Amino acid sequence: MADLLLREDDAGVATLTLNRPAARNALSLALLEAMRDALAALAGDRAVKAVVITGAGPGFCAGHDLRELTEARNDPDRGRAFFEVTMARCAEVMQAVATCPKPTIAAVNGIATAAGCQLVASCDIAIADPRARFCTPGVNIGLFCATPAVALSRAVARRDALEMLYTGDLYDAAHAQRIGLVNRVVGEGQALAEAKALATRIAERPASVVQGGKAAFLRQEGLTLPKAYADAARVMVEQLLAGASEEGIGAFLEKRAPVWPQD
C-alpha cells in the first residue's frame, strides 16, 4: 500500500503531502496518526526551517473519512470509541500544525472541506490555487463542524466563520482570500511552487529568530495587552543580545548582506 503521507525535504523546507488522492485525501485515522508522527519528528529536526502541507491529486483534503466513520457504527458501542479516538487524533494534529516550532504553510491545490478547511486554517500561512474551494459542510449532513470551527474562528472574522458554519456553502478561493482564510491566490497549478518558494525565503532567515518569534506570537495571543507587551519586550531584549541581531543590524548599517551565525 502506498504511503498515506509523503515527506520531501529540500533546502530546509519539508513538504508533507497527504496521499489518498482517490479519497480526496480524506483524513482516515491512519492518515491522522501518520501526520501526528511526522509533525512530531519535524518539530525536533534542526535541519527543517519551514513546513509545507499539500494534497496529492486534484484535492487538498475532504475532511474526515465518512466511509470509515460509517463503518464504525457497526461496533457494539455504535462507534463511540472510534469516534472519540478519531476526534482526539484530529485535535492533536491540528494543534501540532498550529504550534509547530517551524512556520507552516498550506498549499491548497483543490477542495478543502470540513477538517480539510480546518487544516488550512490551522496553518500559519495559506496559498491557494484559483480552483480551490472551501467549506464547512457539516450542517448539510446533520453534523455541525464544531472542531473545524475552533481553527476557523481563529483564522477569520467571527461573522465570516459563522456564515460558513451555518450554511455549509462552498466558497471559492477569491472569497477565502477576502475573509483572510488564505493569504493569496496564485495561478492555476502554482500553489505548491509558490508555497515552497515562500517557505524557502523563510528558511533563509535565522531559524532561532523565526522560531522564537513564532513562539512569542502564539503566547501573546492569549495574554492581556499589558502582559503581551511585557513578554514581547523581554523577547526583543533577548534577541538584541543574541548574535543574529548583532550581525543583522551591523550588516544593515554597513550596507552589506548579513552572514548569519549557525543556529
- Residue 226 CB contacts under 8 Å (≥ 6 apart), including other chains: none
- Residue 107 CB contacts under 8 Å (≥ 6 apart), including other chains: 52, 53, 54, 127, 191, 192, 194, 195, 196
At 2 the pLDDT is 65
Please state the rounded mean pLDDT for residues 60-80: 97
Q: Is the pLDDT of residue 1 over 50?
A: no
Q: Is the pLDDT of residue 262 over 90?
A: no
How much of the chain exceeds pLDDT 90, in percent?
97
pLDDT digits (tens, 9 = 90+) for 113-125: 999 999 999 999 9
Cα 69–chain centre separation: 24
Mean pLDDT of the chain: 96
At 261 the pLDDT is 87
Residue 75's CB: how many other CB atoms inside 10 A? 12
CB 74 within 8 A of CB 130: no
Cα 168–chain centre separation: 21
pLDDT digits (tens, 9 = 90+) for 2-61: 699 999 999 999 999 999 999 999 999 999 999 999 999 999 999 999 999 999 999 999
